[in-house]
Amino acid sequence: MRYGECRWPEIEQLDKDRVLVVVPIASLEQHGHHLPLLTDTFLATAVAERVHARLQDRVLLTPTLWLGASDHHLDFPGTISVSNTLYVEMIKQVTRSLVRAGFRRIFFLNGHGGNIAPGETAITEMANDYDTCDDVLIALGSYWTIAASAMKAERHGMTQPQLSHACEYETSLMLALHGQLVKLDLAHGHTHRHAAPPGVRLAGRFHRMTASGALDTPEFATPEKGESLLAAITEEVTHAMQQMLDWPRSHVLKPSAETARANS
């Protein structure tokens, strides 16, 4: 079901616990010399559409929220973005709207790395702050983390080890989906990255990592690699959505009875 094509009485009558609302979230940001600004939005939407096609009667698919947290790309002209802290509030209020409508299973399907930290900050704050959200299943996952094992480089003939930005993965996916918008002859990573220690997150703007705006080896992208990736991603994300639908109700466990014993 497409959320936006429903009328409100239809929403009202749904068995809210039986359906999963999927909100694709992405960005409008620079993607190197060779990919369009909406790349993340095209990709997240394509994945969401394919998952929706498979789980049509259980998934309510909203339009993709293209306005994302991409301030680390603002040095490249064209990026339209909100700050991390504003993005936190946006995701909180979208969540609130869905909880108020009675939904019990909500999934933010992410297509942009910059949305992860503020998005997770938002959904945990909703669960923590509002008792109305405490027993609602609210989740966020990026297609490349959900499908990490199925996207391994060797399974798709990729040169670079994993998805980064405007890279061989994203370029291949765009070639498969919107080839006419890709200028493959201009694809160049221009990357001068220094690896962060494992397990460490470095703050930083993209203009210090790449001259073109792209990372790694987009020049080796092909539409075939893109098709292969898309099939793998669709499979994994569909599977994750099914798990969300099967997730049992959770209950409050903390007993007071047990306390006496614990303190004796």
Residue ranges in 162-181 that form contacts with a second copy under rule CB under 8 A = 181
- The least CB distance from residue 115 to a second copy, in Å, is 10
- Structure tokens of 15? 């068995």
Verify binding: residue 79, a second copy, rule CB under 8 A. Answer: yes
Verify binding: residue 18, a second copy, rule CB under 8 A. Answer: no
Sole window of 47-55, 69-77, 167-175, 222-230 interacting with a second copy (rule: CB under 8 A):
69-77
Verify binding: residue 72, a second copy, rule CB under 8 A. Answer: yes
Name the residue type at position 240: A
Backbone angles phi, psi at 65, to 5 degrees: -85, 100
Q: How far apart are CA 193 and CA 215, in angstroms?
A: 9
Question: Which is closer to a second copy, CB of 154 or CB of 264?
Answer: 264
Q: How far apart are CA 45 and CA 219, in angstroms?
A: 24
Verify binding: residue 81, a second copy, rule CB under 8 A. Answer: yes
Among residue numbers 27 through 56, which ones bind a second copy (CB under 8 A)? Answer: 28, 30-38, 41
Our CA angle for 56, 59, 63, nearest 5°, is: 100
Count of residues in the chain: 264
Of the candidates 88, 107, 114, 108, the residue with the CA atom closest to the CA atom of residue 27: 114
Strand partners, 172: none
Question: Which is closer to a second copy, CB of 6 or CB of 224?
Answer: 6
Report the residue from 68, 111, 118, 189 that binds a second copy according to the rule CB under 8 A: 118
Do residues 116 and 140 lie in contact, with contact meaning Cβ atoms separated by under 8 Å? yes
- The least CB distance from residue 136 to a second copy, in Å, is 8
Verify binding: residue 255, a second copy, rule CB under 8 A. Answer: yes
Report the residue from 18, 53, 135, 161 that binds a second copy according to the rule CB under 8 A: 135
